[in-house]
Amino acid sequence: MADYTQMWSELGLDNDNHNALLENLGGAYQAIFMTQKSRPQGMGYFDFVMSEAHGLRIQELRDEQAAGRKIIGSFCVFVPEEIILALGCTSVGLCAGADFAQEEVEKVLPRNTCSLIKSFFGFKLGKVCPYMEVSDLIVGENTCDGKKKSFEIYSQMVPNFYQMDLPQTKNGGAKPMLKNEFTAFISKLEQMTGNKLTYEALKQGIDTVNAKRKALHRLSNLRAANPAPISGLDALLINQMAFLDNPIRFTEKVNALCDELETIIASKEGAKTVNAPRVIISGCPMAIPNWKLPAIIESTGAVIVGEESCIGERGQRNVTADTATTVDGLIDAIVDRYINIDCAVFTPNQERVDHIQEMVKNYNADGVIHYGLQFCQPYIMESFSVEKELENKGIPVIRIETDYSQEDMGQLSTRVEAFIEIIK
């Protein structure tokens, strides 16, 4: 990576903290990703994006800003990228996948807060996330209680915070409420940018995001092959990159990788181990660089063939219908698409259990590893009913509860190995 010290200083990053973070991150990436055997050549692009995630990509975002675009940072797949693009802005996911500045964090948040929330506080307090610092607007959402209440504190740390309310059920009032929130968000972006939402721009935004989702669906479907043509770690990385990279370039690169995977499937050369145990990971989102559990799973010789997660299938599952002929009709289509996201903050949430079973069938999985972040009420509560229903259907399942620390690695490895032995 070139020397970006000046850019990081201009963004207000703490250079010592940031260098320490990059060093840790680089070491983990080398150990986890670069030691994998038989990786598709197309992963070279994603390795490059990862290596430049705090360098060239940030420079690109600053160049976009200089050309008049606004950068919108967010923490949730409910924040509609279609609308952000349509108003001449760029969407980025914010850092929330590693522990940082924990002592400082626990001065402002209770200890028993999930790692994901503690992480974005740590990245802010430690001044190490260039995406937060480059964002012109940071969008928080009322989803779980942890996020909702922590945003009251976080909003005092950032000058440019915007809160989006979201429904908690999918009853008759849910869609009007979501439309209301999306309309308010449109007004906010219009006011920030001076742009007016047009039919053509919104249609274009929908097409760009749909193309990205279709490429990711294509990748998901290719993982149904046995042997799987790509590791779960690499597929997760691509899903994580979907929140950082330029959407048009990203889509091209995912499609090029899928072309290569089709060749691998046809020739069976370079594919993952034949007859490896196949698992679905289901549960909390794995924000970059949270690779702990997938690395443990694949170190056993198993292969992850799907992520039932917002950084994975839950976040990318449906495309937005683009047939409406008015702006209002397109907004309705966006609402229709987003209301289908089966996040555990909704009650009831039977769709999610149904989707997990669909994924087991579609991707020929042998079992499900339910991943809950410690203190995440929605997903850990839901893991009991998920476990019960899957067991009733004869699908092997294990519930894992963990955090971002490395302290439970030994215990996790033992449990995962035992589960993989059972499903072999």
Which residues sit at the interface with ligand BJ8, rule CB under 6 A? 76-78, 114, 116-117, 143-144, 146-147, 284-285, 310, 341, 343, 345, 373, 376, 378-379
Output 4 or 346, the one with its CB closest to ligand BJ8: 346
Residue 366: count of CB within 10 angstroms of its CB: 19
Output 168 or 193, the one with its CB closest to ligand BJ8: 168
Tell me phi and psi for residue 33, to 5 degrees.
-95, -45
Output 147 or 355, the one with its CB closest to ligand BJ8: 147
Output 94 or 303, the one with its CB closest to ligand BJ8: 94
Output 142 or 231, the one with its CB closest to ligand BJ8: 142
Least gap, CB of 144 to ligand BJ8 (angstroms)? 3
> What's the rounded Cα separation, in Å, for the pair 83 and 245?
17
For tokens 């207000």, name the residue: 12
For the chain, count helices (H), then strands (E): 19, 8
> Quick one: how far is CA 46 from the chain centroid?
15
Nearest to 39 by CA among 208, 237, 175, 234: 234
Least gap, CB of 353 to ligand BJ8 (angstroms)? 15
> What's the rounded Cα separation, in Å, for the pair 87 and 85?
5
And the tokens for 281? 């990971």
> What's the rounded Cα separation, in Å, for the pair 380 and 154?
24
Least gap, CB of 310 to ligand BJ8 (angstroms)? 3
Output 117 or 398, the one with its CB closest to ligand BJ8: 117
- Cβ-in-10-Å burial (0-12, 13-18, 19+) of 357 comes to middle
Least gap, CB of 336 to ligand BJ8 (angstroms)? 16
Least gap, CB of 194 to ligand BJ8 (angstroms)? 29
Least gap, CB of 377 to ligand BJ8 (angstroms)? 6
